[in-house]
């Protein structure tokens, strides 16, 4: 009866699995602050995506960890860059059976850890960065990405990327914009996963959103929709359920939410100490994100959830 009258459900098809692929390693490397998550080799990534597809997880998003970094993040747009290689491999393996998304930012690839080109005064040059994003979008599309996901929160990024893709004949490649990405303290494990530290102990408050502002978030989301975003995203998820709920009522495009590394890691840390039932809390969190109005949830729990459904531990 409870299942019959339940108002909201999480489905395997709602989930996107974030995956890390690292250049120059021979075997997967566990990420200490993200239990159960690894930096994949190109080979292990292919096996993981195939296994996810068998479980019913039909969308993944790739983050690259290059062997070397530079001031412009050239690995993000190098045709031989680690993510571009991985994209070609996955499309060769699976064709259109899995939606292959690529994070479109340069912080994983820059030696200073910022999401763009750093000017002489230490600030991020928005317009110079947009040129890099357009190059990265084309490299990802040419490698086979069905969705590019600009996460740098640069002003005008969606319009520039959409124009670059359309002009090069990639009108069918979707743009999933990190439209309301907050300057959150919950990204620490992710930065471990991609080996990123911001030079000089800096932060990204100059271009990511103030966690105290909700109206500004809606304004940013509406700008990205107007610029041609096919999907908009709120990141993080749990601390911003109000933002998700309002965006769901305001926009007509699909709405994604990123259940981020810190949210995932906190569940594991508390469960390891026996303070909570980790599986129950994970399901509660994912359901809360869906209940708030997200159509798509990016989560490190994607494989666990799909396995739990397959094993009958969670009702599908």
Q: Which residues are catalytic?
A: 181, 235
β-bridge partners, 298 = 16, 258
C-alpha angle 27-147-265 in degrees, rounded to nearest 5: 50
Structure tokens that stand for 72 in this block: 């412009």
What DSSP letter does each residue of 187-223 carry, written as one string? -HHHHHHTT---GGG--STTTSBPTT-SHHHHHHHHH
Note if the bond before 236 is cis, omega within 30 degrees. Answer: yes
Q: Phi-psi region for residue 76, left (φ > 0), alpha (ψ -120 to 50) or beta? A: alpha
- The set of residues, in sequence order, having a beta carbon less than 8 Å from that of 280 and lying 6+ positions away, is none
Confirm if 8 and 287 have CB atoms less than 8 A apart: yes
Q: CA dist 299 to 25, 37, 88, 233, Å?
A: 25, 11, 23, 13
Q: How far apart are CA 176 and CA 167, in angstroms?
A: 18
- What is the 8-class DSSP label of residue 114? -
- What is the 8-class DSSP label of residue 110? B
**CB-based contacts of 68-75 (< 8 A; 24+ apart in sequence):** 69/109, 69/110, 69/111, 70/109, 70/110, 70/111, 71/110, 71/111, 71/112, 71/117, 71/118, 72/106, 72/110, 72/117, 72/132, 73/106, 73/107, 73/108, 73/109, 73/110, 73/132, 74/109, 75/108, 75/109
């Amino acid at each position: 009866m409870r299942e019959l009258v339940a108002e909201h459900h999480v489905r395997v098809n709602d989930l996107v699995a974030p995956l890390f692929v690292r250049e120059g390693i021979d075997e997967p490397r566990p990420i200490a602050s993200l239990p159960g998550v690894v930096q994949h080799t190109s080979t292990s990534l292919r096996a993981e995506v195939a296994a996810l597809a068998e479980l019913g997880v039909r969308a993944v998003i790739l983050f690259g960890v290059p062997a070397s970094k530079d001031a412009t993040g050239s690995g993000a747009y190098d045709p031989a860059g680690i993510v571009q290689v991985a994209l070609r491999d996955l499309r060769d393996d699976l064709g259109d059976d899995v939606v292959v998304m690529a994070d479109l930012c340069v912080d994983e690839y820059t030696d200073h850890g910022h999401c763009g080109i750093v000017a002489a005064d230490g600030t991020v040059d928005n317009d110079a960065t947009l040129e890099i994003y357009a190059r990265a979008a084309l490299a990802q599309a040419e490698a086979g990405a069905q969705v590019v996901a600009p996460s740098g929160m640069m002003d005008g990024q969606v319009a520039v990327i959409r124009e670059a893709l359309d002009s090069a004949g990639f009108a069918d490649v979707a743009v999933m914009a990190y439209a309301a990405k907050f300057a959150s303290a919950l990204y620490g494990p992710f930065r471990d996963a991609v080996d990123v530290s911001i030079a000089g102990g800096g932060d990204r408050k100059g271009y990511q959103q103030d966690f105290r502002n909700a109206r500004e978030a809606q304004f940013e989301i509406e700008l990205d929709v107007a610029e041609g975003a096919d999907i908009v995203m709120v990141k993080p998820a749990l601390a911003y359920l109000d933002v998700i709920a309002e965006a769901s009522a305001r926009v007509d495009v699909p709405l994604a939410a990123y259940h981020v590394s810190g949210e995932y890691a906190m569940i594991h840390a508390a469960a390891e100490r026996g303070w909570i039932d980790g599986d129950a809390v994970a399901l509660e969190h994912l359901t809360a994100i869906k209940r708030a109005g997200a159509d798509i949830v990016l989560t490190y729990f994607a494989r666990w959830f799909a396995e739990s459904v397959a094993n009958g531990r969670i009702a599908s």
